[in-house]
Amino acid sequence: MSNPVLHAFFLGRAFAEVLSEKVEDSLTNALSELGKFDAEQREQLRQFIEEVQYRAQRDVSQDSTSSTTTEDGSPVDLQETIDDLRAEIARLKAELKNYRSQQV
C-alpha cells in the first residue's frame, strides 16, 4: 500500500469494524446480565409472595380452628356467642345507669 490515503481508509474501516464488534459484545453482555438480574428478582418476589400467602393461609386455618371450638373440642355457635355478648353489654349499661342515678 503505497497510497497513504488508501491505507488510512482501510485502517479506519478496520478500526470501525473492531470497535463495532466490541460495543456489540459489551452491549450483549450487559443486556444478558440485566436479564439475569430481572429473572432473579422476579423469582425472589414470587417466593416472597408465596411465603406471605402460605403464612396467611396458615394463620387463617389456625384462627378458624381455634375460634370455632371450645377448650373441650365442642363446636361454638357464633350467633349464640354474639347474643350472649349483647346481653352482657345491655346488663352492664343498666347497672351503669343505676349507679349514675344513685350518685345524683
Record the pTM.
0.47
> What residue type is assigned to position 24 of the chain?
E
Domain ranges in the chain?
Answer: 1-67, 74-104
Nine cell digits for residue 1: 500500500
How far is it, in rounded angstroms, from Cα 52 to Cα 47? Answer: 9
How far is it, in rounded angstroms, from Cα 87 to Cα 93? Answer: 10
Interior CA angle at 83 toward 101 and 58, to 5°? 125
Helix, strand counts (H, E) of the chain: 2, 0
Could you report the per-residue pLDDT of 17-53, keeping only the tens digit for each?
A: 999 999 999 999 999 999 999 999 999 999 999 999 9
Categorize the per-residue pLDDT at 9 as very low, low, confident or very high, splitting at 50, 70 and 90.
Answer: very high
Nine cell digits for residue 90: 345491655
